[in-house]
Amino acid sequence: MRDFLRRLLLNKWSKVVIFLVALSPLACLGWRAYHGELTANPVEFIQHFTGDWTLRFLLITLSITPLRKLLDLSDLIRFRRMLGLFAFFYVCLHFLTYIGPDQAFDLGGMWKDVAKRPFITVGFLGFLLLIPLALTSTRGWIRRLGGKRWQALHRLVYVSALCGVVHFYWLVKSDHRLPLLYGAILAVLLLYRLGNSLLKPRRAVVVSPAQ
Amino acid sequence: MRMFGNLTESDITPKSVYFNRRQILCAMGLAGAGIAGGKVFSHLAFPPVAVQAGTKLDVALKSPFSTSEKMNSFDDVTHYNNFYEFGTSKDDPSKNAQKFRTSPWTVSIEGEVKKPAKYSMDDILKLAPLEERIYRHRCVEGWSIVVPWIGYSLNTILKLAEPTEKAKFVAFQSYYDPGQMPWAGHAGIELPYVEGLRLDEAMHPLTLLCVGMYGESLPNQDGAPVRLVIPWKYGFKSIKSIVKIRFVKSIPPTTWNIYAPTEYGFYSNVNPNVDHPRWSQATERRLGEILRRKTLMFNGYSDQVGALYNGMDLKKNY
């Protein structure tokens, strides 16, 4: 089974397939737009839709590392950058629907809004944090920064995802089920990492006196 | 278990099924009886639960309060609803409220009055000539619509109760039945939904007791069979599916204020200068438009209602 999965992951078409799957929400949006099914408030619909998919792609990207270890499928790493870049792609669309229809490209007004509204502030911060990550996602940048520093920089994605969840939670009026679900998934993914990093040094402590 | 325990008549014959059957029977032509005959037959075989949403109303008057702005489509106003008893997404009520049984219906008027009364919908429809009033409607969430409501001033029915000297506020309560509204469990707000107005606000001629829109009785998702429309206040003040109107001495509790007192005040007048703590109220998106437009003080009804709030600090009394 594992061998089959590995072969599937390493197949040269697998990236193309994942790419198309990751693009399908956009296709769905296009389909709905073409058929006039964007509700009575299309701007809001597109904002919520692209925001939702940004969070989903962030969570999917963050689940790659745990899944690699738990399923012993290190080849999953092949897709992490692409999935992360899709999160960035959807957040860019999300941001465009905000500065366009909401702010009429008035950057001064937008800045005031960002400074004044906690839910926008935190969402904007989450977006900003993803920009350096998207820019340094290439092999060249990993080389230039060095693995350790690159990794440290890319831990900003944890903060960004947290911002995204808080942004969503603060936006909702009273039915918090969905933002709480995203928050719970994010908590599991981050606690897994915390657990891992806490276990490692403890092992070292246990090992050293014995030597 | 609840689903089976609280079966209502409308659960047994949902309106959509009833209509489908009728359509099928009509399509079959009923063994040559002709479509007209088929309709009569199906009507006898499957009588409607009651005259419900979609019944044509006789509108006697056009109101001078009406705006000449472009109205939103019936489709917009019936598929983009905040009615948390039927789900918290905008498109939930249009799907989930279809089976909501609005007949028989009783509105009780009570409290600090000389003549408490109970009204059936028939009574309410006959109490005064129905007017069409095209109002702007602004939601606290920052969107707005223009709707041709049908009804008459709330004060018509309030006066009949002869409020006593002690009556200073009017409290309203919506119908609530978890059996018919299983989605309400996720609403996050306390139910039944309650709202309130100061007596002078309730008696103001702009405050509409609304029984219909677009020439018809109210669709379920828009607050059937009877609701308030208070055009200078945020939409959540315009309580839907009213069963109780109570005159009281002091300021009554209101649903969204109970939920988040710092976000939703008792007055909740549309005011571009007082922001909701989480978002600006300076602009709004009219459904059907892309760019936001400026929100008007009292939603553009300053001339009519501004005097109600003379000398009040509207930043404090948000």
pLDDT digits (tens, 9 = 90+) for A174-188: 999 999 999 999 999
pTM for the full predicted model: 0.85
* Residue pLDDT, tens place only, A22-39: 999 999 999 999 999 999
Kindly list the residues from chain A whose CB atom is less than 8 angstroms away from the CB atom of residue B186: 175, 177
Is A118 in the B-facing interface, judged by CB distances under 8 Å?
A: yes
Q: What is the ipTM of this complex?
A: 0.85
Is A107 domain-assigned? yes
Tally of domains within chain A: 1
- Picking from A40, A44, A177, the nearest residue to B186 by CB comes out as A177
pLDDT at B7: 45
Is A109 domain-assigned? yes
pLDDT range class, residue B112, cuts 50, 70, 90: very high
pLDDT at B45: 47
Q: Residues B39-45: what's their mean pLDDT?
A: 46
Task: Determine the Cα–Cα distance for residues B134 and B137; give it in Å rounded to an integer.
Answer: 9
Is A209 domain-assigned? no
Residue range of the domain that includes A97? 2-36+47-197
- The DSSP element (H or E) to which B110 belongs, if any, is strand B106-111
Is the pLDDT confidence value at B37 over 70?
Answer: no
Task: Determine the Cα–Cα distance for residues A19 and A24; give it in Å rounded to an integer.
Answer: 9
- Picking from B79, B188, B290, the nearest residue to A174 by CB comes out as B188
Write down the CATH number for the domain with range B55-309.
Answer: 3.90.420.10
Is A207 domain-assigned? no
Structure tokens of B109?
């008027």
Is A203 domain-assigned? no
Residue A18 DSSP SS3: helix
Kindly list the residues from chain B whose CB atom is less than 8 angstroms away from the CB atom of residue A118: 278
Which part of chain B is CATH 3.90.420.10? 55-309
Task: Determine the Cα–Cα distance for residues B29 and B216; give it in Å rounded to an integer.
Answer: 29
pLDDT at A109: 87
Kindly list the residues from chain A whose CB atom is less than 8 angstroms away from the CB atom of residue B279: 117, 119-120
Is the pLDDT confidence value at B4 over 50?
Answer: no
Kindly list the residues from chain B whose CB atom is less than 8 angstroms away from the CB atom of residue A175: 84, 88, 186-188
Is A41 domain-assigned? no
Q: Does A117 contact B259 at a Cβ distance shorter than 8 Å?
A: no
Is the pLDDT confidence value at A68 over 90?
Answer: yes
Interface of A with B in 39-78 (CB under 8 A): 39-44
* Residue pLDDT, tens place only, A117-161: 999 999 999 999 999 999 999 999 999 999 999 999 999 999 999
pLDDT range class, residue A201, cuts 50, 70, 90: low
* Residue pLDDT, tens place only, B276-292: 988 889 999 999 999 99
Cα A188 to Cα A68, A185, B52, B195, distances in angstroms: 15, 5, 49, 41
Closest residue, chain A, to B286 (C-alpha) = A41
